[in-house]
Structure 1
Amino acid sequence: MNKFVAIVGSNSQKSTNRDLLKYMKRHFQSKAEIELVEISGLPLYKKTPDEFVPQEALDIAKKIEASDGVIIATPEYDHSIPAVLSSALAWLSYGIHPLVDKPVMITGASYGSLGSSRAQAQLRQILDSPEIKARIMPSSEFLLGHSLQAFDEDGNLKDKKVVEQLDGLFQDFLQFVNIAKQLNNANDVNKQKAEEFSWDKD
């Protein structure tokens, strides 16, 4: 059975993105083992002369490296991902590169009708950056709009069509992960390039 790391892209105590990942963990428990990972304990990203990486980031990186894939749930603030998620991804590409060639599924929930669509588009660009180089599942937006009304009292999604869409996308992700395992012939080179890349050098 595949093991996935699910990153809660928010530091809010009451987050519908966390609710979404909790639902996915329960709903897909017969298909995959999903571990929720919080990023709220990470300090704000800051470059240092000795490239110090906090232990919290190293612990998350270790879980990602041991996983078969990553699911990220992002809210949308001002048409972009939250600063806490941006900071976390910066730590995960600063001297460590656990996301190189790692299959990633992007999800997102928002209070409005757009379901974090702009944030997801931005997140795709970030994950494709030369320091991260994740393997993002294509054409796979899961946009949960009006998320405050989306769950019942047991934390389950109420709309059957939404559930059907998520079921289909998750099945696609399982297949994507299996395909990605066969596409790692350049993994060592890709990791080396990520390690050698620097915006400070020409």
Structure 2
Amino acid sequence: MKKFIAIVGSNSAKSTNRELLEYMQKHFQNQAEIELVEIKGLPIFKKSIDKYVPKRALELANRIEAADGVIIATPEYDHSIPAALSSTLAWLSYGIHPFVDKPVMITGASYGSLGSSRAQSQLRQILDSPELKARIMPSSEFLLGHSLQAFDDNGDLKSEAETEQLDGLFKDFLQFVDISEQLNHANDVNKQKAEQFSWDIG
């Protein structure tokens, strides 16, 4: 059975993105083992002379390295991902590179009707950056709009159409992970390039 790390892309105490990942953890428990991880508690990213990385970021990097894939659920604030999620990804590309060639599925929930569409688009760009080099599943947006009304008292999605869509996307992700395992011939070179990349060098 595949093992996935699911990153809650919000540091809010109550988040419908956390609810979405908890639903996926329960709903897909017979298909994959999904471990939820929080980004709250991580300090805001800051460069240092000794390239210090917080212990929590190192622990998260190790979990990502050991996982078969990563699921990220992001809210949308002012058409972008939260600062806390951006900072977390910065830590995870600062002298450590757990995302290189790692299969990633992007999801997201928002209170409005667009379902974090712009934030998901921005997240794709960040994950595709030279420092991260993640392998993002294409054409796979799951946009959960009006998320405050999306779940019932048991934490299940109310909409049959949205449930069916998520089921299909998750099956695609399982296949995408299998295919990605066969596409790692350049993994060592990709990791080396990520380690050597620097915006400070002209």
Residue 47 of structure 1 aligns with an amino acid whose one-letter code is K
Residue 145 of structure 1 aligns with an amino acid whose one-letter code is G
SS in 2 for 1:3: strand
Q: Deviations over 1:93-125 (max 9, x none)?
A: 000000000000000000000000000000000
SS in 1 for 2:7: strand
Structure 1 residue 65, shift from structure 2 partner: 0.2
Structure 2 residue ranges without an equivalent (≥5):
none
Q: 2:116 maps to which residue?
A: 116
2:172 counterpart of 1:181: no
SS in 2 for 1:88: helix
Residue 47 of structure 2 aligns with an amino acid whose one-letter code is K
Give the percent of matched residue pairs that are identical in Structure 1 and Structure 2.
78
Q: Provide the aligned C-alpha RMSD in A.
A: 0.3
Q: Deviations over 1:128-154 (max 9, x none)?
A: 000000000000000000000000011
Structure 1 residue 87, shift from structure 2 partner: 0.1
Q: Deviations over 1:58-86 (max 9, x none)?
A: 00000000000000000000000000000
SS in 2 for 1:5: strand
Residue 70 of structure 1 aligns with an amino acid whose one-letter code is V
Structure 1 residue 31, shift from structure 2 partner: 0.2
> How many aligned residue pairs are there?
202
Structure 1 residue ranges without an equivalent (≥5):
none
Q: 2:34 maps to which residue?
A: 34
For 1:133 and 1:43, the matched residues in 2 are separated by 23
Moved over 4 A (4+): none
Q: 2:4 maps to which residue?
A: 4
For 2:170 and 2:110, the matched residues in 1 are separated by 20
SS in 2 for 1:105: strand
Question: TM-score of the superposition, structure 1-length normalised?
Answer: 1.00
Structure 1 residue 41, shift from structure 2 partner: 1.2
Residue 120 of structure 1 aligns with an amino acid whose one-letter code is Q
